[in-house]
């Protein structure tokens, strides 16, 4: 890994983060979150909870309305455009829709991760330093795409495209990965493979990540920590094992979570069985609501629980 800062600060700190859109929607309502180095956080919550907004406020694709975002000790909201460009190099973004350049090859797409370092003209002339080329080959091998270097992006499957997206983000040598619904367009088996790959790579590299993901089973299986958002507020912050039915109700609202496992068990498709094997959150056994306490003492949790 190259060029990482060496401070004792947490990798990411959100302090009282607020986002109110011009329409009046309050998407984030004073969110506090600290992510240490090397931790993989899954961000879950119902549609409209503010997950994408939170991810985008970190790299200022969406401008926060209030509060602070600190990356490795440096505050982002006040950075000038020039400083922000530099900071964004250190934030690897992986999108649901891959955001590849369709007519470029896999190798060119991966190398575009170095754009922020190499400069436009050098990239345009396709003159990348040897070290970047070697790194791109290495990363393509790591994500399982050796031999695909010269394929055009538009000739790839969804899973292969997401692997390119991961390699491209890693090419930036980021401090933090921001991952927005990486599996939303993928089948269950591919989703699981992609989530496993992402989390393995983070662990290998000591890389922190925030992954916005709808699939609670994948989140609990692969992430170190779960953060649940509801109506822009943090209502769960703790271990995957703490996602008991009462907590799921706090996050998503009323539902019979005990039935969820049975539905999945009944799925006849073998891919789905493979994808769903060993899902901790969906093999939940009945836990009395009054003993179901998440691993966090976050105050907003109790507020939200009271209103759930």
Ligand X SMILES: Nc1ncnc2c1ncn2[C@@H]1O[C@H](COP(=O)(O)OP(=O)(O)OP(=O)(O)O)[C@@H](O)[C@H]1O
Distance CA(209)–CA(207), nearest Å, equals 7
The answer to whether 226 touches 218, Cβ cutoff 8 Å, is no
Which residue's CB is nearer to ligand X, number 153 or number 213?
213
Q: Which of 196, 183, 225 is nearest to 208 (CA)?
A: 225
Q: Torsion angle, CA of 48/85/76/176, rounded to 10 degrees? A: 70
**Which region, judged by CB under 6 A, interacts with ligand X, from 17-25, 83-91, 192-200, 280-288?**
17-25
* Minimum distance of ligand X from residue 57's CB (angstroms): 9
Distance CA(76)–CA(71), nearest Å, equals 7
* Minimum distance of ligand X from residue 99's CB (angstroms): 16
Which residue's CB is nearer to ligand X, number 21 or number 138?
21
* The pair of three-digit structure tokens given for residue 141, joined into one six-digit string: 């091998």
Output phi, psi for 215, to 5 deg: -80, 100
The 101-120 site mask, x for binding ligand X (CB under 6 A), equals --------------------
* Minimum distance of ligand X from residue 211's CB (angstroms): 12
Burial of 248 (0-12, 13-18, 19+ CB in 10 A): buried
* Minimum distance of ligand X from residue 19's CB (angstroms): 8
The answer to whether 209 touches 169, Cβ cutoff 8 Å, is no
**Which region, judged by CB under 6 A, interacts with ligand X, from 23-31, 69-77, 233-241, 254-262?**
23-31
Which residue's CB is nearer to ligand X, number 34 or number 52?
52
Instruction: Give the β-pairing of 12-20 and 176-180.
Output: unpaired
**Ranges within 26-45 binding ligand X (CB under 6 A):** 27, 45
* Minimum distance of ligand X from residue 178's CB (angstroms): 13
**Which region, judged by CB under 6 A, interacts with ligand X, from 21-29, 98-106, 169-177, 233-241?**
21-29
Instruction: Give the β-pairing of 66-71 and 74-75.
Output: antiparallel
Which residue's CB is nearer to ligand X, number 46 or number 280?
46
Which residue's CB is nearer to ligand X, number 57 or number 139?
57
Q: Which helix (H) or strand (E) holds 197?
A: helix 188-205
Which residue's CB is nearer to ligand X, number 42 or number 111?
42
**Ranges within 42-101 binding ligand X (CB under 6 A):** 45, 47-53
Q: Which helix (H) or strand (E) holds 35?
A: strand 26-35
* Minimum distance of ligand X from residue 179's CB (angstroms): 13
Question: Total number of residues binding ligand X (CB under 6 A)?
Answer: 12
Q: Which of 8, 11, 4 is nearest to 224 (CA)?
A: 11
Which residue's CB is nearer to ligand X, number 50 or number 92?
50
**Interaction site with ligand X (CB under 6 A):** 21, 23, 25, 27, 45, 47-53
């Amino acid at each position: 890994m190259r060029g990482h800062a060496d401070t004792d600060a947490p990798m990411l700190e959100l302090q009282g983060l607020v986002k109110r859109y011009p329409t009046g929607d309050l998407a984030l309502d004073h969110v506090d979150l600290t992510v240490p180095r090397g931790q993989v956080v899954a961000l879950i919550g119902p549609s409209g909870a503010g997950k994408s907004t939170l991810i985008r406020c970190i790299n200022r694709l969406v401008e926060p309305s209030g509060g602070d975002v600190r990356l490795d000790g440096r505050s982002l909201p006040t950075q000038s455009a020039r400083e922000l460009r530099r900071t964004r190099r250190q934030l690897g973004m992986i999108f649901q829709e891959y955001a590849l350049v369709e007519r470029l090859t896999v190798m060119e797409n991966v190398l575009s991760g170095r754009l922020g370092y190499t400069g436009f003209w050098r990239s345009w002339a396709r003159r990348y330093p040897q070290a970047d080329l070697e790194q791109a080959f290495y990363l393509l091998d790591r994500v399982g795409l050796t031999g695909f270097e010269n394929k055009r992006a538009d000739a790839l499957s969804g899973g292969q495209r997401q692997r390119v997206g991961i390699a491209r983000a890693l090419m930036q040598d980021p401090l933090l990965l921001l991952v927005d619904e990486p599996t939303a367009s993928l089948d269950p088996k591919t989703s699981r493979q992609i989530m496993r790959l992402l989390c393995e790579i983070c662990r290998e590299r000591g890389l922190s990540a925030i992954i916005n993901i709808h699939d609670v089973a994948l989140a609990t299986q692969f992430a170190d920590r779960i953060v649940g958002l509801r109506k822009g507020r943090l209502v769960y912050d703790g271990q995957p094992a703490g996602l008991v039915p009462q907590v799921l109700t706090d996050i998503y609202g009323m539902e019979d979570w005990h039935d969820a496992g049975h539905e999945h068990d009944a799925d006849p498709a073998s891919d789905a069985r493979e994808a769903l094997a060993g899902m901790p959150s969906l093999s939940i056994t009945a836990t009395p609501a009054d003993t179901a306490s998440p691993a966090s003492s976050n105050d907003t949790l109790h507020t939200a629980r009271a209103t759930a």
